[in-house]
Chains A and B, each alone.
Chain A
Amino acid sequence: MVVGSVARARTVLGARLLVLTLGLAIVIVPFVYMLATSFKPNSLVLEIPPKFFPDQPTTKNYVDAWTSNQFSRYFLNSVIVALATTFAAVFLSSMMAYAFARFRFPARKLLFGLLMLGLMVPTMMLLIPQFLLAKQLGLLDSLLGLIVFYTGGNLALNTFLLRSFFQDIPPELEEAMVVDGAGPWSRYRKLILPLSRPALATVSIFTFLASWDEFVWALTIINDPNRRTLPIAIALFQGEHSTSWGLVFAASAIAVVPVILIFVTFQRQFVSGLATGALKA
């Protein structure tokens, strides 16, 4: 009886692993094919019938993408925009989250409600008025225009996530500091921020990846080829050279690999932050 159930449990586990692995193969194949194509010589990317792996892999696409097609510049633009956005958005939203989590003041509910409006409104709806606003402010065609609007767009979610984390910090710690005469700013700096490193890491990763991958706003306000970020550079490049798939996927790999590295390294914060964010919304 006991032996039978052990054997049965093994069979069930085997079946689970089999189904999971088959499913995973389907999920992963497109990535593998992308990488395989990026190592093909350009004349071979649309052979008929297609070969999955190249016979003579070459790194030429990577060299070409990085040197002759300015992808190093686009990479740098993306780094600047994503880092500046992350810094500004996390700083501003941690301050707002502190106010919402630890102070009682008139209009608190109203202001928080308005902020949550920002979570519900589809970003695409704001595209036209934001474009006209950026035009008025002289922010079209500039990296600053990306940073300002990305920062504003990330505030609501970040504040929401950080607020719930700050609320869980025991108030006694802060009361002890008040007794010692510490003002609000030093409580925020010396108590709240240091205790919230995991939460700050989570929102930083979210913000960084969101601005790194952002496409529509950049496509809409950037015209100058020198100010392109990676997503628009890749998309436009494919439009301009419709058959250079090897080059497109080399550039894609350059853009995707940092994301995957960040994700795999920080995946615990990532997944837990995502799950709590979604379940608490």
Chain B
Amino acid sequence: MHKRKEQLAPYLFLAPGFLLFTLVMLYPIVRAFQISLYQWAIVPGTASKYLGLHNYLRALHDPIFWRGLENTGFYMAVTVPAQIVLGMLVAVLLDGKMPARAAYRTLYYLPVVTSWVVASLLFRYLFIGQGGLVNSVLHTNLNWLGQRWTAMLVISILGIWKGIGWSMVIFLAALQGVPRELHEAAAVDGAGAWRRFRAISLPAIKPVVVFVAILLVIGGFNVFISVFLITNGGPLDETQVLLTYMYRQAFSFLDFGYGSAISFMLTLIVFTLSLVQLRVFRRPAGTA
């Protein structure tokens, strides 16, 4: 009697949460692929038409899909290195004894906890062409948000501004795992700060750097809210990224099949990266 209770217990503890998880997460994962194979009928009572892989082929011949991929790539090329370098710089400066360390860390982290919606509107306002703060400070008269690359640049700057605090916190935690004695010994031998960083800190935290890089690339593929609220893919689809294009196909044109195909391709890419990350980082060095 007692033993049976102990055997049943884990299932009873799991049941409510896992049922909900299955309903709203697992089932939609399966459905996402299924929907992408159809010309999905949104009107009740009409049949969806099976298309096979047509929606995927359509994407490969869709210039705006490719442009979205390009813009997503641009966003990653700008934001990933910048977040790593700047986050590392702040982490290194904050590592070790210094006054007001916690206060600096908190303030650098503030953009991370600020909502994407508020941050996006704020950057849109800062980069307004006529009467925007940035133009006025730089003495320029650029129509930042009206052209493809300057608009993508603004969106990328927002991504960097919002992301530095996150990479900084991870790097700082990793740096604190580097034995201080190594630094002291190297300092006695006359190694400067840069050499100590290159020869001691960086090799020790390299796995964490790669880990952060992979997560940032995944995050880059998922860029959506900032683009949606700053340019909404415009002008004329010039600044579409994969997810804004997916959202438009699904919820403006009600083409759920095509939207699903786009997001499924994105998921395959992200998934591959996640698996690589799991393989390499079962347990990164420098953590308990």
Asked if B5 lies at the interface with its beta carbon under 8 angstroms from chain A, I say yes
Mask, A20-40, CB within 8 Å of B = 1, is: 100110011011011001000
Contact B106 A20 (CB under 8 A): no
Instruction: For the complex, give the distance between the alpha carbons of A261 and B2 in Å.
Output: 48
A54-62, A63-71, A252-260: which lies at the B interface? A252-260
Known: A48-B131, A128-B35, A260-B113. A30 touches B123 (CB 8 A): yes
Roughly how many angstroms separate A30 CA and B113 CA in the complex, as a whole number? 14
Give bound CA distance, A210 to B243, whole Å. Answer: 20
Those 4 A-B pairs whose CB atoms lie nearest each other, nearest first: A152-B24, A92-B17, A129-B28, A129-B31
- Known A-B contacts A27-B110, A256-B118, A260-B110; the reply to A95 vs B90 at CB < 8 A is no
> In the complex, which of the residues B116, B222, B286 contacts A215, with contact meaning CB atoms closer than 8 Å?
B116
A50-B131, A122-B221, A259-B115 known; A153-B271 Cβ under 8 A: no
The majority secondary structure among interface residues of chain B is: helix
Specify the chain A residue showing the minimal Cβ separation from B114: A256
Inter-chain contacts of A31 with B (CB < 8 A): 110, 114
A binding-site residues for B, Cβ under 8 Å: 12-13, 16-17, 19-20, 23-24, 27-28, 30-31, 33-34, 37, 46-50, 52, 92-93, 95-96, 98-100, 103, 105, 108, 111, 114-115, 117-118, 120-122, 124-133, 148-149, 151-153, 155-156, 159, 183-185, 188, 209, 212-213, 215-216, 220, 231, 234-235, 238, 245, 248-249, 252, 255-256, 259-260, 263-264, 267, 271, 274-276, 278-281
Alpha-carbon distance A238/B228, docked complex (angstroms): 13
Check B17–A216 contact: CB distance below 8 A. Answer: no
Chain B interface size range: 35 or more
CB distance from A130 to the nearest CB of B (A): 5
B interface residues with partner A (beta carbon < 8 Å): 5-7, 9-11, 13-14, 16-18, 20-21, 23-29, 31-32, 35, 86, 89-90, 93-94, 98-99, 102, 104-111, 113-119, 121-123, 125-126, 128, 130-133, 136, 161, 164-166, 169-170, 173-174, 193, 208, 211, 215, 218, 221-222, 224-225, 229, 243, 246-247, 250-251, 256, 259-260, 263-264, 266-267, 270-271, 274, 277, 281, 283-284, 286-287
Q: Could you name 7 residue pairs across A and B whose Cβ atoms are closer than 8 Å?
A: A27-B161, A30-B123, A152-B24, A156-B21, A183-B9, A264-B106, A279-B174
Interface SS of chain A: helix
Alpha-carbon distance between A229 and B252 when the two chains are bound, in angstroms? 21
* Other-chain residue from A16, A105, A275 in contact with B10 (beta carbon distance below 8 A): A105
Instruction: Report Cα–Cα, A50/B263, bound state, in Å.
Output: 41
Whether the pair B24, A153 counts as a contact (CB closer than 8 A) is yes
Q: Check if B263 sits within 8 Å of A124, measured CB to CB.
A: yes
**CB-nearest residue of chain A to B5:** A183
